[in-house]
Amino acid sequence: MIDRFTMSLGFVFRWECVYAAGHEYDSAFVVSENVPGDGGGVTKWGIDAADHPGIDIENLTLEEATTIYHDGEWTAIQGDTLPAGIDTAVFDEAVNTGVRESVILLQRALYGLGYRLAVDGALGPATMAAVVKQAQIDSAGLISQLLAMRRQYYQEIVADRPGDAGFLQGWLNRVNDLAAFLKGGAV
């Protein structure tokens, strides 16, 4: 049986990895990239130079990237404690926009479902209790609300920074793919 982190990381890699021509989805051929307009700089496995100074991004291995994601985003969002499906959705957002923003979106989703808690980006006991309670009531509903908050967030980014409009469709495609992934039995 595949563990929740490995399953969630598999989804992240679907969107974060770039492969050498002719080697699509072969982890032995993941290459680095430097996308114009993306402030992260050189990136490989979704790990960027701007957020990870001192790491040799060009030569980053799968094992090193896995450790960075586990010890960074997965641990910070308490992935082993979050309910199935919600863990993947929050983790993917943490990778894409940062841990604090992923928790803010989770809190906004919970707030939209009637939970009155601070929207502060801290995954404390009140937020975790609300997540667990809502997951017991309607996990799919929380995931749907969370993904709606994420779509809205990307729209807000483009409204504030029109230069990022070229990234919008890719961000929305990723959210739609995540919804299908979670619906397809990943939870």
**How do residues 86-106 score in pLDDT, each as one tens digit?**
999 999 999 999 999 999 999
Rounded to 10 deg, the angle between the 86-97 and 4-16 helix axes is 40
Provide the H-helix boundaries in the chain: 4-16, 62-69, 75-76, 86-97, 99-112, 125-160, 165-181
Q: Yes or no: say if 156 and 150 are a contact pair by the CB < 8 Å rule.
A: no
What integer pLDDT is reported at residue 185 of this predicted model? 63
Range of the domain at 47: 4-186
Query: Mean pLDDT score of the chain, rounded to an integer?
Result: 93
Output the pTM of the full model. 0.92
- Rounded to an integer, the average pLDDT of 155-159 is 97
- Rounded to an integer, the average pLDDT of 60-88 is 96
Rounded to 10 deg, the angle between the 125-160 and 99-112 helix axes is 100
**CATH number, domain containing residue 89:** 1.20.141.10
As for how many domains the chain has, the answer is 1
pLDDT tens, position by position, 52-65: 999 999 999 999 99
3-class state of residue 61 by DSSP: coil
Q: Max Cα separation, the chain?
A: 51
